[in-house]
Amino acid sequence: MEELSKIKGIGPKIVSNLNKLNIYNTYDLLTYYPYRYNMLNRTTLSNTIDNPGLITGVIESDVKVAYIRRNFNSLNFRIITENKIVKVVIFNRAFMKNNLIRGKEISLIGKYNNKTNSFVASDIKFEVIDKPTIESVYHLTSGITSKQLNKLINSVPSYNIDDYIPSIYSEKYNFIDKSSAISILHNPSDIKLLKQAKLRTIYEEFFTFMFKMNYLKYKRTINNIGLKREVDKSKVDEFINSLPFKLTEDQETSVNDIYRDLVSPQRMNRLLLGDVGSGKTIVATIGLYINYLGGYQGALMAPTEVLAVQHYETLTKLFKDLKIGLLVGSLKASEKKKVIEKLRLGEIDILIGTHAILSDNVEFNNLGLVITDEQHRFGVNQRNILQNKGTLTDVIYMSATPIPRTYALALYGDMDISLIKSKPANRKEIVTMVKKESEIKDVLENMWNELKSGHQIYVVAPLIEDEEDSDLNDIKKLKDNYVKAFGSKVNIDILHGKMSKIEKNRVMEEYKNGHIQILISTTVIEVGIDVKNATVMAIYNSERFGLATLHQLRGRVGRNDLTSYCYLICDKDIDRLKVLEESNDGFYISEKDFEMRGEGDLFGIRQSGDMAFKVGDIRRDYKILMQTKKDSEEYLKNGHVDNNYQNIMKNLDFNN
């Protein structure tokens, strides 16, 4: 592994462009794989009438650029192909103008319209492609093209790259070696080889992940010393009985799991898995209370500031006698300092916060329990840092990502799992309907009724403001429309990720206290917001979101005993949205989501820090996943915790 700047042809500007892609060294560069391949194969003009295809031709005219509107331009010229003059147009490629020189032979990808004798190109290659070619396409930021990136990757001098597939398995499955696989992934010459290279790379990715899981589990069984607490159980029961509701059966079981772990001398590493609205927070809160009664400080970490503040308010109300602290990014430096000082002196019993809790200068007096909310949003490393703040600290991860059981067991193999399947009994099903934009009147009518009953509304759209070339709805436009529809007596406001923290908090506060009646936002409200009075949600362009996200969003309503409504507004016929009309059960929806492979966002797992596989896809490659689970268990059982694997642990910052 070497620094990027050591490679010939890579200057500071390219380094900074590569850094934007999270590429920091030659290893990152080599393993920055294409996300897609273009099959380039020359065809005839008439073959590109119905489906796009690749043709070649000689430029026959000058090139005219037309700037149509902001961010929208076209290039027009003519080519000679098949002894015919054909008009060519390509959009938003003004930057190519100087390369399109009369007399030059080029390749064009696109479709031919024989009535107007024009070829609408989607891409142009400045070379003649006359034999079948596979082109690598990379995720990019501006400043670098796929072709340039591919060239840079190919200029990395070869060196020994650790291969993490144990030889017994490479031999068993007849895998090609790692450096060949890497080279093929970037420069495939045929599909068969590409498949072999992918298979091998996916296997390695999954194997290391699964091995990690199994290794952590194994380490817990041989060296499992945690904090043993003396806890007055009657106080815990008293607290539970003082709550305004009765715990559900699953909540009770989860509380018992946690209690058992906290009073036993083993270290807890538990996943609290439950659908949105299933009531995980109160279970976590009881856990923090048990920990407090046992004499330790506790911490609760949330993925957003809005959510942290909400937890803070909930806990402050529940525990009048406990000292609860809040540590979030937007606090003034002096306030932060005060909180940190108190924490160190043990003058705070429970600390609630965002990632700010992870900074080095935050020191606990005697941390006993750490809870992370919406754990799939945090990476493994962040989780680890927190866990290591106290040497024997117990840990609970909360996740509203209901995934099918077999996956949960594989992907969270290192943890014990408490499952909250049932929802509080007072919940009504959320009435969910797919609606066309032309049917919006029905939706508005029902919104009006709900507003008259004093209820509140969420409206969600994919964009913040209008973008050229996009016909998606944006929240600024929707706000205008809603103000027009409801008049000035209804208080309407917006929320999105680009607002300042202070603004966001203000809007959330005003929505919570009922001042704002209709909140129009992007998906920033997805996580954990709890406003019981909200009964309607409308999600525009819902075809843009995965089932998981939609289900999570929908979970913001139906948080009381009123009937709530969710409108999935969508002009396309999308079958998968029907799953949401059918069911309110996150576990059922996730099963369906997994069945309908290829679509959906897999409950956010792909983006999460700990399961962001580069090539592997846990749904598509389910069989490989399960095979690596089996193989890695076997490998560990046979005593193969050799240096190679100690190394993996170290590299992955997993060895605490």
Task: Give the binding site for Mg ion (CB under 5 A).
Answer: 281, 528
Q: Which amino acid is at 149?
A: L
The pair of structure tokens assigned to 620 is 């598509």
Cα 621 from Cα 407, distance rounded (Å) = 12
The piece of 6-14, 271-279, 479-487, 511-519 that touches ligand ADP (CB under 6 A) is: 271-279
546 counts as binding ligand ADP under rule CB under 6 A:
no
Compute φ and ψ for 457, nearest 5 degrees. Answer: -135, 140
245 counts as binding ligand ADP under rule CB under 6 A:
yes
Residue placing its CB nearer to ligand ADP in the complex, 156 or 400: 400
Cα 405 from Cα 513, distance rounded (Å) = 39
Residue placing its CB nearer to ligand ADP in the complex, 282 or 451: 282
Residue with nearest beta carbon to ligand ADP: 279
Decide the pairing of beta strands 53-59 and 72-81: antiparallel
Q: Which amino acid is at 644?
A: N
Provide DSSP, 483-541: HHHH-TTS-EEEE-TTS-HHHHHHHHHHHHTTS--EEEE-GGGGTT---TTEEEEEETT
The piece of 46-54, 55-63, 275-283, 586-594 that touches ligand ADP (CB under 6 A) is: 275-283
Residue placing its CB nearer to ligand ADP in the complex, 248 or 523: 248
The piece of 84-92, 170-178, 186-194, 273-281 that touches ligand ADP (CB under 6 A) is: 273-281
List the one residue out of 540, 523, 537 whose CA is nearest residue 470: 540
Least distance in Å: CB of 557 to ligand ADP? 11
* Binding positions for ligand ADP, 90-129, rule CB under 6 A: none
Residue placing its CB nearer to ligand ADP in the complex, 14 or 605: 605
Alpha carbon separation from 242 to 159, 247, 314 (Å, rounded)? 65, 11, 15
Which one of Mg ion, ligand ADP, none is in contact with 278 (Cβ closer than 5 to 8 A by kind)? Answer: ligand ADP
Chosen residue from 18, 108, 152, 247 binding ligand ADP by CB under 6 A: 247
Residue 297: which H helix or E strand, with range? strand 297-301
DSSP label at residue 407: H
Chosen residue from 108, 185, 213, 276 binding ligand ADP by CB under 6 A: 276
Cα 343 from Cα 357, distance rounded (Å) = 11
Which one of Mg ion, ligand ADP, none is in contact with 105 (Cβ closer than 5 to 8 A by kind)? Answer: none
The pair of structure tokens assigned to 271 is 């996943």
556 counts as binding ligand ADP under rule CB under 6 A:
no
Decide the pairing of beta strands 133-137 and 36-40: antiparallel
For 60-190, where are the alpha helices, taking DSSP H only?
Answer: 146-154, 167-173, 178-186
The pair of structure tokens assigned to 586 is 């996150």
The piece of 213-221, 277-285, 409-417, 627-635 that touches ligand ADP (CB under 6 A) is: 277-285
Least distance in Å: CB of 554 to Mg ion? 14
379 counts as binding ligand ADP under rule CB under 6 A:
no
Least distance in Å: CB of 549 to ligand ADP? 15
Give how many residues touch ligand ADP by CB under 6 A.
20
The piece of 227-235, 272-280, 300-308, 613-621 that touches ligand ADP (CB under 6 A) is: 272-280
Least distance in Å: CB of 231 to ligand ADP? 22
Residue 564 near residue 432, CB atoms below 8 Å? no
Scan for tokens 């809790």, then name that residue: 357
Scan for tokens 């000292």, then name that residue: 323
Binding mask 493-532 for ligand ADP (x = CB under 6 A): -----------------------------------x-x-x
DSSP label at residue 42: B
Least distance in Å: CB of 552 to ligand ADP? 9
Residue placing its CB nearer to ligand ADP in the complex, 186 or 554: 554
Residues in the chain: 656
Chosen residue from 129, 357, 400, 615 binding ligand ADP by CB under 6 A: 400
Least distance in Å: CB of 283 to Mg ion? 10
Scan for tokens 């529809």, then name that residue: 485
Residue placing its CB nearer to Mg ion in the complex, 420 or 550: 420
Residue placing its CB nearer to ligand ADP in the complex, 107 or 254: 254
* Binding positions for ligand ADP, 278-337, rule CB under 6 A: 278-282
Least distance in Å: CB of 336 to Mg ion? 25
Residue placing its CB nearer to ligand ADP in the complex, 79 or 557: 557
List the one residue out of 565, 273, 261 whose CA is nearest residue 411: 273
Chosen residue from 379, 424, 514, 546 binding ligand ADP by CB under 6 A: 424
The pair of structure tokens assigned to 270 is 């538990």
The alpha-carbon radius of gyration of the chain (Å, integer) is 28
Least distance in Å: CB of 556 to Mg ion? 11
Chosen residue from 93, 270, 504, 559 binding ligand ADP by CB under 6 A: 559
Contacts 24+ apart (CB under 8 A), 65-72: 65/94, 65/97, 67/94, 69/468, 70/468, 71/468, 71/469, 72/468, 72/469
Residue with nearest beta carbon to Mg ion: 528
For residue 298, the number of C-alpha atoms closer than 13 Å in the C-beta half-sphere is 26
Backbone angle region of 541, left / alpha / beta, with phi > 0 → left and psi within -120 to 50 → alpha: left
Binding mask 204-243 for ligand ADP (x = CB under 6 A): ----------------------------------------
Alpha carbon separation from 151 to 75, 91, 136, 148 (Å, rounded)? 27, 26, 11, 5
Q: Contact residues for ligand ADP (CB under 6 A)?
A: 245-248, 251, 274, 276-282, 400, 424, 426, 528, 530, 532, 559
